[in-house]
Amino acid sequence: MAAEVTIAPRAESHTLLAEEVRLRAHLRDDLGVRTRFAALPDVRALLVSPAARDGAKALVVASDATAAERIYLYVHVAAHIALEHHLPLVTIVEGPPGIARLETDARRHREAEDLARAMWWGRRGEGLAAPRLVRGSAVLRELVSRGITRAALRSLLLAMRAAYYDLRIERALARTRLAAWLRDALCVTAVVSAAPQLSD
């Protein structure tokens, strides 16, 4: 549908965009985090903590972050909050991957990465976990854990999706479990491609 193309100018999948909206709503409703977007040179996100434990928190995310990266940032920031790294009155700065940090910051980010991984794969925090249909798939999890198999899987899934549309069978298959699994698998693969630290 032409209208769908205009909704996703980056050609990001609807599943990814829907997941991004769902996780952002979870942050707002369950964790009291208001998210906004701004041009942030050299930084991917800032979590500004409140003066009191239950006060509203503000998350500013780089406006050029993709939906997949935003999903990762939400889970990672939620892990920082669960670990209470944002208290008292600490602004957590998420820099680009691979940028060296002060050792105390690096330790906290590593702790958040470990918890975020557990949340994403559904061991902790249902509301922040990967899409349900693929979350428990050991095979998918293994394939996305290494760069080479992750790239191959992504190519394969994209080819399957393209074939699915080319064959014009999407209406017949749209409500099937196969189509839902394919959408969720692509979503997980895209997120782990943007943030390999979410894989084991």
Please answer whether residues 156 and 108 qualify as being in contact, where contact means their C-beta atoms are separated by less than 8 angstroms: no
Residue among 18, 27, 19, 30 nearest 45 (CA) = 27
CB of 39 to Zn ion, least distance (A): 20
Count of other CB atoms within 10 angstroms of residue 171: 7
The smaller minimum CB distance to Zn ion, of residues 24 and 85, is found at 85
CB of 111 to Zn ion, least distance (A): 9
CB of 195 to Zn ion, least distance (A): 11
The smaller minimum CB distance to Zn ion, of residues 57 and 109, is found at 109
CA within 13 Å, CB half, 57: 30
The smaller minimum CB distance to Zn ion, of residues 41 and 96, is found at 96
Q: What are phi and psi of 7, to 5 degrees?
A: -75, -30
Residue with the CB atom nearest Zn ion in the bound state:
109
The smaller minimum CB distance to Zn ion, of residues 9 and 96, is found at 96
CB of 123 to Zn ion, least distance (A): 19
Q: Cα(first)–Cα(last) distance of the chain, in Å?
A: 38
For Zn ion, the binding residues (CB under 5 A) are: 109, 112
